[in-house]
Chains A and B, each alone.
Chain A
């Protein structure tokens, strides 16, 4: 069964260091999302891609976060410098198109900033 792949599963980093997360969506899925989820809360959108183009990055803290999906397939989310408040689960999801209601989520990267 096709899955959204994310790596690493867990990451511990020191404050002010750079960190990167990788996501490989389900093959053929044009839409890719990065969400951040704080424990006990719902996922909050950081960025949405349609193929290689950014559709919505209004909630992405652009002073420290960046995201790219250069060839419209896999994607990288970077934080530089990391802050204590960035500790959260970072979830990648994909769907066939942006109008679909079914998004497939990866297992996420649990980030701890110390």
Chain B
């Protein structure tokens, strides 16, 4: 089976940078994804990593180290609207479902 661990809560100041870590255990590995979910809303896709390294998408970047079974989501120039829950999700094998972590609740304060 698969399991993921990420911090339950993170607080950061508007304009700052925050990193949300995710460690995973899987039988097989196809890739790691990140999703954002605002209160009352649906999860929305942010990024994914299938290979080691950093992927950048605007203010958001995601990093993967397959040898360490570790990834992180980096949010730069934090804005109040970034306050949300962030989930890492792993696909263990091709065509298997995405398995989500329990989520990290990010609070951005002024």
Contacts and interface: CB of A to CB of B under 8 A. Distances in A.
Interface residues of A, number: 24
Q: Interface on chain B toward A: helix, strand, loop, or mixed SS?
A: loop
B27 interface: no
Contacts of A102: 33, 45, 48
B33 A101 contact: yes
Interface residues of B, number: 23
B44 interface: yes
A56 interface: yes
A103 B46 CA distance: 10
Interface in B64-110: 87, 89, 91, 94-103
Interface of A: 33, 35, 40-45, 48, 50, 55-56, 91, 93, 98-99, 101-108
